[in-house]
């Protein structure tokens, strides 16, 4: 083996060792990043679930949200039926009188 071949072979070995060490380092860092990402995703999902639960509670509350709108519509329906019934009585009185 000539000196040039020995130097080339040593260079290839150094590059191969550097590549293997780089793969290992990047792999362990990627695993740490994946664990961090998963922890953030779980925390974000719990936060979203909490927000959805709070919105549902507000919507179902009879004093606010859809509960109050529903109550307002019911009150308006009762009022309108009372007004319409009053007009029907007046018209019957006018027709009969």
Specify whether 2 is located in the same domain as 44.
yes
Is residue 41 scored above 90 in pLDDT? yes
Specify whether 70 is located in the same domain as 53.
no
Specify whether 93 is located in the same domain as 70.
yes
Is residue 97 scored above 60 in pLDDT? no
Specify whether 53 is located in the same domain as 71.
no
Specify whether 93 is located in the same domain as 49.
no
What percent of the chain is predicted at pLDDT more than 70? 96
What pLDDT, in 10s, does the model give residues 57-89? 877 777 777 778 878 888 888 888 777 777 767
Specify whether 41 is located in the same domain as 67.
no
Q: Which domain holds residue 85?
A: 63-97
94: confidence class by pLDDT, cuts 50, 70, 90: confident
Distances (CA, A) of 65 to 5, 56, 60, 76: 82, 9, 7, 17
Contact 35, 41 (CB under 8 A): no
Specify whether 51 is located in the same domain as 68.
no
Higher pLDDT, 88 or 19: 19
Number of domains in the chain: 2
């Amino acid at each position: 083996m000539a000196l040039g071949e020995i130097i080339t072979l040593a260079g290839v070995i150094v590059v191969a060792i550097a590549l293997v060490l780089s793969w290992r380092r990047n792999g362990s860092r990627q695993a740490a990043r994946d664990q961090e990402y998963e922890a953030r995703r779980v925390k974000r999902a719990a936060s979203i679930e909490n927000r959805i639960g709070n919105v549902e509670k507000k919507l179902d509350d009879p004093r606010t949200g859809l509960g109050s709108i529903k109550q307002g519509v019911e009150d308006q329906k009762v009022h309108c039926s009372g007004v319409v019934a009053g007009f029907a009585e007046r018209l019957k009185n006018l027709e009969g009188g």
